Amino acid sequence: MKNYLAIILLVISGIAGGQVLNVNIINIRDLKGQICVAIFRNQSEFASEKTYWETNCPKYKVIGHELKLKILLRPGKYGLSVLDDENGTGRMEYRLFGIPNEGFGFANYIQHGIHKPTFEDFSFMVSENETKNLTVRMKYF
């Protein structure tokens, strides 16, 4: 048996096909707090932090610094971001000069530096009846 826990999350009721995101969140630092997952549909939603869909996962479900999720979506273009919300506020905390105080990551995107990526940097397409595998590598400063 694989050493992970799969969480099935229904994003939208009435999904016709079977579009599945297998999300593997890796490099989670510790077991304090929660993992917050957000899905955006465009740059405007991402810039304003108005999510299309979001969920919070308790850290006791993290095994070996990893959390695996299964998310069902309709076909379309999306971006997925993750926050390691260590203090449980549901929001990113920052240090001096805007440096993130908590871990974060984006689907199939490795963060370089401290600049915020654009939606295009971490967006992906989901086609009808597709199973898509995404990896989110958490980054900490």
Residue 98: predicted pLDDT: 86
When the pLDDT of each residue in the chain is averaged and rounded to a whole number, the result is 89
Strand, helix or coil for residue 129: coil
Asked whether the predicted pLDDT for residue 104 surpasses 50, the reply is yes
Residues 4, 14: Cα–Cα separation, whole Å: 28
Residue 97: predicted pLDDT: 87
Asked whether the predicted pLDDT for residue 1 surpasses 70, the reply is no
Highest-confidence segment of 14-18, 45-49, 112-116: 45-49
CATH of the domain spanning 6-137: 2.60.40.10
Q: Are strands 76-85 and 103-106 parallel, antiparallel or unpaired?
A: antiparallel
- Neighbouring CB atoms inside 10 A of 96's CB total 6
Q: What is the pTM of this model?
A: 0.86
Tell me the mean pLDDT in the region 84-100.
93
Asked whether the predicted pLDDT for residue 42 surpasses 50, the reply is yes
Higher-pLDDT residue of 103 and 18 is: 103
| Residue 49, token pair as written in the block | 């932090």
Cα–Cα distances in angstroms (integers) from residue 27 to residues 47, 48, 70, 92, in the given order: 25, 27, 18, 18
* Alpha helices, DSSP H, located in the chain: 43-48, 119-122
Tell me the mean pLDDT in the region 65-90.
97
Asked whether the predicted pLDDT for residue 6 surpasses 90, the reply is no
Are 132 and 126 a contacting pair, CB within 8 Å? yes
CA 112 to chain centre: 17
